[in-house]
Amino acid sequence: MKNLFLTGPVGCGKSTSIATALGEWLKEAGGFLTIRQKDDSGRAVAYWLKRPDGSDGQIILNYSAKPYTMHLEVFEGLGIQLLEEARRFDFVILDEIGGFEVLSDAFAVALMELLRSDIPCIGVMKGAGPASKMIQKLGLGDAYVQKAEALRRWMQEDENTLLYECSQFDPQGLSLAREWVAEHIAK
């Protein structure tokens, strides 16, 4: 399989499995990471879009005050830039997709071009449960649901993509990520 995406509930180890499997190769990847910023009590207050090496971060979601603020423009700027630059890398990490960024037609086009290219991708697809919570928190409507479901359906139907549903602390997710690394990076 060229593309591997893990999906499932929050906290089941999707991103951790991928980071563990990639190890030091993580910094060699194209693409992006979505980084959660927590307050002193451990509550998420913001999410950032960053390069895999941790640079060029921009806030994409701010939970620190109500109403919550989505920054779709970050995906239409830095996000598209990172997807386009990813074509120069041997492999790509997309951690995570399937969030409100699917509302950007320009980002969605750049994402599909990358997923259909010959470059192997590994990442996280927002699970249905976390997506429903996001819909409520951010007041997202039918347009979001339709676009996120279309992306999920494409991943399920694409012969070059495995969308694996992780359960809580699922060792199979880590095993699949390690197999992907062995096939595409550690040759």
Across the chain, what does the average pLDDT equal? 92
CATH 2.60.40, applies to 3-32+89-184 = no
φ, ψ of residue 13 in degrees (nearest 5): 100, 20
The helix (H) or strand (E) run that includes residue 45 is strand 44-50
In a 3-state reduction of DSSP, which class is residue 106? helix
- For 88, phi then psi, to 5°, come to -90, 0
49 neighbors 36 (Cβ within 8 angstroms): no
Residues 6+ apart with CB under 8 A from 93: 18, 22, 26, 29, 30, 31, 32, 33, 52, 121, 122, 123
pLDDT for residue 139: 80
For the chain, what are the domain ranges? 3-32+89-184
In contact, 173 and 14? CB cutoff 8 Å: yes
Amino acid at 18: I
Q: Name the band, by pLDDT with cuts 50, 70 and 90, for residue 187.
A: low
> pTM (2 decimals)?
0.92
Label residue 181 by pLDDT band (50, 70, 90): very high
Residues 31-52: tens digit of each pLDDT: 999 998 999 998 889 999 999 9
Average pLDDT over residues 50-69: 90
- Band of the pLDDT at 137, cuts 50, 70, 90? confident
Best CA proximity match to 127, nearest among 163, 103, 92: 163
DSSP 3-state assignment of 36?
A: strand
